[in-house]
Amino acid sequence: MAGSRRRSSTLAGMTPEGHASAPVRVGLLGCGNVGGALAEVLAEDPEGLFARTGLRLELTRVAVRNTAKARGPSVPEHLLTSDAAAVVTADDVDVVVELIGGIEPARSLILDALKAGKPVVTGNKELVADLGDELFQAAAAAGVDLLFEAAVAGGIPIVRPLRESLAGERLTRVMGIVNGTTNYILTKMEAGESYGEALAEAQSLGYAERDPTADVEGFDASAKAAIIATLAFGQKVVGGDVAREGISGLTPADFAFARRMGFVVKLLAVAECHGDGSVSARVHPSLVAADHPLASVRDSFNAVFVEGEAVGQLMFFGRGAGGRPTASAVLGDLLDAAHSLRGGACGRLPQPGRARIRPFEDLASPYYVSLLVRDQPGVLATVAGAFGRNGVSIRSMEQEGAPGGDARIDFITHTATERDVQATLTELRELEVVDAIGGLIRVVA
């Protein structure tokens, strides 16, 4: 998605001699955690910002649902309005920042802003992942920027590096810990907490929502994975292309086994470009070798690990959520948009063609499979037969349990396809000696 530069209209009212100090006027849609932090950052040190960048940014309008709610000194009452549609077309707004989230009304407001010739900065991952084409076409038609650094991994600069710095690189794989809430929960489970305890803690700290589904079932990470895959490989991947499994089925036994085998458990977003040019994107709990750089990413931190043919391995690490870190990403985009306005150019995003998606069933990796079985003579041979009949080779196994009672057998397989492993599980579930599948985690090196 590397962009060529092309001419567009210059900032209204700016004369060449006025360029240095005329403020770029910002209309903000949504003033929650990130919007409020952005207002703070803009108000804090405008002279410092001008000294560093040669630009002044002035917040001129702020659209919120509740205008009666006090927003603090950075958002004076006279800036507030409930009329978001008026903000995007207002004469005193040069750049629109959309931080409402969700599909509507964010989509319509962004389209209206672009049609009015205003660059837009958004942190809306869902919108960019699923309706990016429509928005980028509108931005291209208007000749203005549509920037979305905050949509992936909050404060970590990853969109611009993928789109610009690495534009010429033949990237092969990008793996990310792109959801801070689940990384926090997994870190606590690694320390011995149950899923329920760790989730409750994440909720009390404000990381997880009361309804945590979007985070814990991997929806949030899937939208980010789709954006990452599109940027990394120049082929359009949408949220629905991403194979997804969340963390809510993980148990303390999975973590204990992972530790014994030299792994940690991470919710990874993995985007790959395969040898035949097809692309895959998936989000699922993954066993990561304890000495891999991603294994050291703990608590609510995010990281994105990028692999390319010439550049080798890179890792971007930092805060993937939170008001000020995410506002930092929005501010960088705002300055970029402001520079474009001042220079009469914009970074044009080409619309890539649809990706050829490699089916999830065709992806291959080693697997951890855990079985709860009766501990009787011949059980191991019976379950091992199911692996063998489906072409899944066992690399190692470990059994815990008292003779005559129930046992847990943990297997690590050699590299096998998802299709063959699922066929194995189907057969295993039908065996009388197997009480349950205790766990299944893909090993991602």
**Strand pairing class (95-98; 24-29):** parallel
Given candidates 239, 320, 332, 366, which one binds ligand HSE under the rule CB under 6 A?
320
Show the tokens assigned to 137.
């076409």
Burial label, 49 (beta-carbon count in 10 A; 0-12, 13-18, 19+): middle
Comparing CB distances to ligand HSE, the nearer of 136 and 207 is 207
Residue 132 lies near ligand HSE (rule: CB under 6 A): no
Q: Kindly state the smallest distance separating residue 230's Cβ from ligand HSE, in Å.
A: 17
Q: Kindly state the smallest distance separating residue 299's Cβ from ligand HSE, in Å.
A: 11
Q: Kindly state the smallest distance separating residue 377's Cβ from ligand HSE, in Å.
A: 48
Could you say which residues in the range 358-417 bind ligand HSE, by CB under 6 A?
Answer: none
Given candidates 179, 365, 370, 424, which one binds ligand HSE under the rule CB under 6 A?
179
Q: Kindly state the smallest distance separating residue 215's Cβ from ligand HSE, in Å.
A: 5
Q: What is the pattern of x (binds ligand HSE, CB under 6 A) and - over residues 191-220? A: ----------------x-------x----x
Comparing CB distances to ligand HSE, the nearer of 83 and 197 is 197
- Rounded to whole angstroms, the maximal C-alpha distance in the chain is 89
Residue 321 lies near ligand HSE (rule: CB under 6 A): yes
115 is catalytic: no
Size of the site for ligand HSE (CB under 6 A): 8
Sheet of 24-29, strand order:
80-81, 57-63, 24-29, 95-98, 120-122, 146-147
Residue 180 lies near ligand HSE (rule: CB under 6 A): yes
Residue that has been written with the tokens 């958004």 in this structure? 122
Catalytic residue among 118, 188, 224, 266: 224
Q: Kindly state the smallest distance separating residue 141's Cβ from ligand HSE, in Å.
A: 29
Q: Which window, 5-13, 175-183, 240-248, 337-345, contacts ligand HSE (CB under 6 A)?
A: 175-183
| All residues at 6 or more sequence positions from 26 whose CB lies less than 8 Å from its CB, including other chains | 42, 57, 58, 59, 60, 93, 94, 95, 96, 97, 334
Kindly list the distances between the CA atom of residue 436 and the CA atoms of 396, 399, 427, in Å, as whole numbers in the listed order.
Answer: 20, 15, 12
Where do the H-state alpha helices sit in 234-364?
252-260, 323-343
Q: Which window, 30-38, 178-186, 259-267, 412-420, contacts ligand HSE (CB under 6 A)?
A: 178-186
Could you say which residues in the range 53-112 bind ligand HSE, by CB under 6 A?
Answer: none
DSSP labels, 234-264? SSB--GGGSEE--STT--HHHHHHHHHTTEE
Indicate the Cα dihedral angle 441, 228, 312, 299, nearest 10°: -50
The answer to whether the beta carbons of residues 38 and 28 sit under 8 Å apart is yes
**Strand pairing class (57-63; 24-29):** parallel
Q: Which window, 11-19, 132-140, 177-185, 283-291, contacts ligand HSE (CB under 6 A)?
A: 177-185
Could you say which residues in the range 216-245 bind ligand HSE, by CB under 6 A?
Answer: 220
Query: How far is Cα of residue 429 from the mean position of the Cα atoms in its chain?
Result: 34
Given candidates 181, 222, 230, 370, which one binds ligand HSE under the rule CB under 6 A?
181
Question: At residue 204, what are phi and psi to the nearest 5 degrees?
Answer: -70, -25
Per CB under 6 A, residues contacting ligand HSE are 179-181, 207, 215, 220, 320-321
Catalytic positions, written as ranges: 224
